[in-house]
Chains A and B, each alone.
Chain A
Amino acid sequence: MSVFVTLSTTLRNFVPGYRAADGLNLEVSGPTTAGDLAQRLNLPLSEIKIVMINGRRLELATPINDGDRVGYFPAVGGG
Chain B
Amino acid sequence: MIKILRVNMKTKACDFQDVPAEYDGLGGRGLTSAIVGKEVRPTCTPLGPHNKLVIAPGLLGGTNCANSNRVSVGCKSPLTGGIKEANSGGQPGGHLAKMGIHAIIIEDIAPEGEWYQLELTKDTAKLVPSTVAGLNNYDAVAKLVQQYGEKNSYITIGRAGEFRLTAASIAFTDRELRPTRHAGRGGVGAVMGSKGLKAIIVNPEGGENLPLVDKEAFTAAAKRFSKALLEHPVCSQGLPNYGTAVLVNILHEAGGLPTHNFSAGRFEGHDEVSGETLNRLTKERGGEGVVAHGCMTGCIMRCSGIFPDKNGKFMGKWPEYETLWAFGPNSGINDIEMIVRYDYQCDDYGVDTIDVGAAICLFMDAGVLKYGDAEGCFKLMEEISKGSAIGRVLGCGAATTGKVYGRRRVAEVKGQAIPAYDPRAVKGQGVTYATTTMGADHTAGYAVTANILSVGGTIDPLGKGGQIDLSRNLQIATAAVDTVGLCLFVAFAVLDIPDALVAIVDMLNARYGLKLTLDDVPALGKSVLETEIKFNREAGINEFADRLPDFFYDEELPPHNVKYDIPEEELRTALTW
List chain A positions with a Cβ less than 8 A from chain B: 6, 8-10, 12, 20-21, 49-50, 52, 54-57, 71, 73-79
- Bound complex: CA A75 to CA B275 (Å): 14
Chain A residues lying within 8 Å of B488, measured Cβ to Cβ, are 79
Q: Are A78 and B559 interface neighbours, CB within 8 A?
A: no
Query: Which of B145-153, B210-218, B239-247, B568-576 is the interface stretch?
Result: B239-247
Q: What are 6 A-B interface contacts by the 8 Å CB criterion?
A: A8-B276, A20-B271, A20-B277, A50-B454, A71-B250, A78-B244
Whether, in the assembled complex, B300 has its beta carbon less than 8 Å from a beta carbon of chain A, the answer is: no
Q: Give the nearest-CB partner of A69 in chain B.
A: B253
Whether, in the assembled complex, B116 has its beta carbon less than 8 Å from a beta carbon of chain A, the answer is: no
Contact partner of A73 (CB less than 8 A), chosen from B232, B239, B250, B455, is B250
- Bound complex: CA A6 to CA B238 (Å): 17
Q: Are B247 and A76 interface neighbours, CB within 8 A?
A: yes
Closest 8 interchain pairs by CB?
A78-B244, A77-B234, A75-B233, A20-B271, A71-B253, A55-B255, A78-B247, A76-B238
Q: Give the nearest-CB partner of B442 in chain A.
A: A79
Contact partner of A79 (CB less than 8 A), chosen from B461, B462, B489, is B489
Q: Mark B220-260, 1 if CB is under 8 A from A, else 0.
A: 00000000000011100111011111110110011100000
How many A-B contacts if CB must be within 8 Å?
94
Chain A residues lying within 8 Å of B245, measured Cβ to Cβ, are 78
Q: Are B449 and A12 interface neighbours, CB within 8 A?
A: no
Instruction: Report the minimum CB–CB distance from A41 to chain B (whole Å).
Output: 16
Q: Give the nearest-CB partner of A72 in chain B.
A: B253
Q: Give the nearest-CB partner of A73 in chain B.
A: B250
Given known pairs A8-B250, A9-B238, A9-B275, the reply for A78 and B321 (CB within 8 Å) is: yes
Given known pairs A77-B239, A78-B321, the reply for A50 and B453 (CB within 8 Å) is: yes
- Bound complex: CA A8 to CA B458 (Å): 20
Whether, in the assembled complex, B172 has its beta carbon less than 8 Å from a beta carbon of chain A, the answer is: no
B447-487 residues at the A interface, CB under 8 angstroms: 448-449, 452-455, 458, 460-462
- Bound complex: CA A73 to CA B275 (Å): 13
Chain B residues lying within 8 Å of A78, measured Cβ to Cβ, are 238-239, 243-247, 275, 303, 320-321, 489
Whether, in the assembled complex, B433 has its beta carbon less than 8 Å from a beta carbon of chain A, the answer is: no
Q: Give the nearest-CB partner of A49 in chain B.
A: B454
Chain B residues lying within 8 Å of A77, measured Cβ to Cβ, are 234, 238-239, 246-247, 449, 453, 455, 489, 492
Q: Are B271 and A21 interface neighbours, CB within 8 A?
A: yes
Q: Give the nearest-CB partner of A79 in chain B.
A: B446
Chain B residues lying within 8 Å of A52, measured Cβ to Cβ, are 253-254
Instruction: Report the minimum CB–CB distance from B334 to chain A (whole Å).
Output: 11
Q: Are A76 and B489 interface neighbours, CB within 8 A?
A: no
- Bound complex: CA A56 to CA B249 (Å): 14
Contact partner of A50 (CB less than 8 A), chosen from B232, B247, B250, is B250
Chain A residues lying within 8 Å of B234, measured Cβ to Cβ, are 75-77
Instruction: Report the minimum CB–CB distance from A39 to chain B (whole Å).
Output: 20
Q: Mark B268-282, 1 if CB is under 8 A from A, else 0.
A: 000110111100000
B418-464 residues at the A interface, CB under 8 angstroms: 442-443, 446, 448-449, 452-455, 458, 460-462
Instruction: Report the minimum CB–CB distance from A3 to chain B (whole Å).
Output: 14
Q: Give the nearest-CB partner of B235 in chain A.
A: A77
Q: Give the nearest-CB partner of A55 in chain B.
A: B255
Contact partner of B237 (CB less than 8 A), chosen from A6, A12, A54, A75, is A75
Contact partner of A76 (CB less than 8 A), chosen from B250, B272, B442, B460, is B250
- Bound complex: CA A76 to CA B452 (Å): 10
Instruction: Report the minimum CB–CB distance from A21 to chain B (whole Å).
Output: 6
